[in-house]
Amino acid sequence: MNRFVTNVERTILTAMMCAAVLLAAGCAKPSATKSAENVVDSMAKGDFASVTANFNPTMKSAMYTEKLGQVWGQLTAQVGPFKARTSTREAQEQGYDVVYVTCQFEKTNLDTKVVFDSNKQITGLFIIPTKAAK
């Protein structure tokens, strides 16, 4: 009987450890790509506050929520409404994680370049002409 209890206890302990690992993985910070996609999706929905909430202190002083909304409004006035994200690509540039999210607008495609610092905060946000993937 003792041996049976030990095996049952081991099985329960193993199951609990597996559950803890899965829970921890689900609670981990999203990848740079997922975070950059969330930035684009939030801007497309007009939720600029959630974007600026992820800015590092330097970005927060340079681009506040209302200004980001104005910039997005000027952009969409020129290129038409946002339609979809079409692709993403990651790069390492000067020690930063950089994600390019190619965005389809009514009149053209543009890349949203999101730069992350070592704390996974946004340290740069640019809308640039789309480059072909290499």
Q: Which residues contact 24 (CB under 8 A, 6 or more apart)?
A: none
At residue 24 the predicted structure's pLDDT band, cuts being 50, 70 and 90, is very low
| pTM confidence score | 0.77
Q: How confident is the model at residue 55 (pLDDT cuts 50, 70, 90)?
A: very high
Neighbours of 59 (CB within 10 A): 20
Cβ neighbours for 56, distance < 8 A, ≥ 6 positions apart: 117, 119, 121, 122, 123
Question: pLDDT band at 30, cuts 50/70/90?
Answer: confident
Give 32's contacts (C-beta < 8 A, 6+ positions apart): 90, 97, 99, 114, 116, 120
With cut-offs at 50, 70 and 90, classify the pLDDT of residue 6.
low
* Per-residue pLDDT at 7 exceeds 90: no
111 has pLDDT over 80: yes
Q: Look at 1-15, 36-50, 75-89 and tell me which has the smallest mean pLDDT.
A: 1-15
- Asked whether residue 77 carries a pLDDT value surpassing 80, the answer given is yes
